[in-house]
Homo-oligomer: A and B are copies of this chain.
Amino acid sequence: MHAVPPLEQDQEIAGATLAAAPAQATHDAPVRDLRRVAIHPDYWYPLAWSHEVKRGKTLGVTFAGDPIVLARTESGKVFALEDRCAHRQVPLHQGMVDGESIRCGYHGWTYDCSGKCIDVPYLGRERLPNGVRSYPCQEVEGLIFVFPGDAALAAERPLPGFRSVSDPKYKTRRFGRPVKCHYSFMHENLMDMNHQFLHRRQMGSMRARSVGRRRGEGWVEVDYTFARVEGQQPFGEAMVFGERRKTGGFNHKDVMTIRTEYPYQTLQIRNDEQTLVMDLWIIYVPLDREQRTNRTFGLLSIRKPGIPGVMNLAWPLLVWFTERIFKEDREIVEAEQRAHDSQGADWNHEVFPVINDLRALLRECGAPDPVVGAGTGNTAVIRFWDSRHGDPLAKT
């Protein structure tokens, strides 16, 4: 399903030659409006932090407009069901956890972790309706992952790895929040490091230089080095990039690699000894059916410095620094989404080749456009559910 783009050799791309390729990419034969490409559901997506789903409690979330209830049972297990009672479609998250099952708060219909209806208080047990759709669900590193697509593919599709998060040499900050834009703006924002201009107040005048890019099946990545052209290195930045140096911060031999491996994104910084000093994993999960909002989940791991305790002392400053950066990014990508809404189309004129590679990747890997006349996404949900469970009112 995914086209295999030719693997390019690393190549030095000087600023002065960047503008050679771009126009073609935007003037091709009709392409899908990237801002309307739905994310592909056949991957594992985090829908909540573990701490948001307390024992014996529920949490209502959405994936691309589909309502999903997360419930943690008395024994501590988390499961994920369609967040609509089979009876009258009120959200199950307004109900209650009862042992290892969940009861709708309206008339008490009860479902187990597979979505099977196991009790209607005023019906005989031999006549119960079938229930609601369930979703594969796993907890990893404080995140609750759900597989919203074809459940038959869940087992073979790997969860992302989080090596630095579990490595005691690193300290990890978890962050993120809803952002009112299509997920593609988020990928482009992070991958195009020329947007350091946006953070000029926080990061001084850093000049990014792309020093290589690579593509493969389902991924794109780019390497940058940085030079400071003016201004002092802020302290938060020093925390991330390492100790202050006489030259004013970032060593020109440090390399930042940003990679979109669909649908996830990573940003890694290695110093000139090839030590991984910063390791960010991030994902942008669509919330609404139009996918014009996303919830960002980020895990930012920083390698601890040699002196014990220094990291903990400086941590609040790092938090403040990253929050400021993330707020600026959020404001600008939301402005991009508003511009798209107002224009009704993507007018992007990209001049940076790696971003055009990324845009092609997101188009190729996204969900296929819905077939005209095949009904709405809602209908598709029902069909899928029917094919697994049969008619919800049929007697088992």
Contacts and interface: CB of A to CB of B under 8 A. Distances in A.
A393 B123 contact: no
Nearest to A347: B89
A105, A345, A392, A395 — most chain B CB neighbours (10 Å): A105
Nearest to A24: B393
B197 A107 contact: yes
Contact of A105 (B15, B23, B332, B391): B332
Nearest to A123: B19
Given A107-B195, A393-B349, A122 B335 contact: no
A268 to B, nearest CB: 22
A65 B341 CA distance: 12
A86 B349 contact: yes
Contacts of A23: 391, 393-394
A367 interface: no
Contacts of A94: 331-332, 335
A208 B26 CA distance: 63
What's the dominant secondary structure at chain A's contact region?
Answer: loop
Given A108-B197, A123-B351, A90 B339 contact: yes
B106 A195 contact: yes
Given A106-B197, A197-B108, A351 B89 contact: no
Contact of A378 (B108, B344, B352, B395): B344
A105 B108 CA distance: 54
A308 B123 CA distance: 44
Contacts of A378: 342-345
A349 B389 CA distance: 15
B122 A348 contact: no
A303 to B, nearest CB: 29
A255 to B, nearest CB: 18
Contacts of A345: 378
B376 A344 contact: yes
A194 B65 CA distance: 30
A307 interface: no
Interface of A: 15-19, 22-23, 26, 65, 67, 84, 86-91, 94, 103, 105-108, 120-124, 127, 129, 192, 194-195, 197-198, 207-208, 331-332, 335-336, 339-340, 342-345, 347-352, 376, 378, 382, 391-395
11 contacts: A18-B122, A18-B123, A88-B339, A90-B335, A91-B339, A106-B197, A107-B194, A107-B195, A108-B194, A121-B207, A347-B382
Question: What 3 A-B pairs have minimum CB-CB distances, sorted nearest first?
Answer: A16-B124, A108-B197, A89-B339
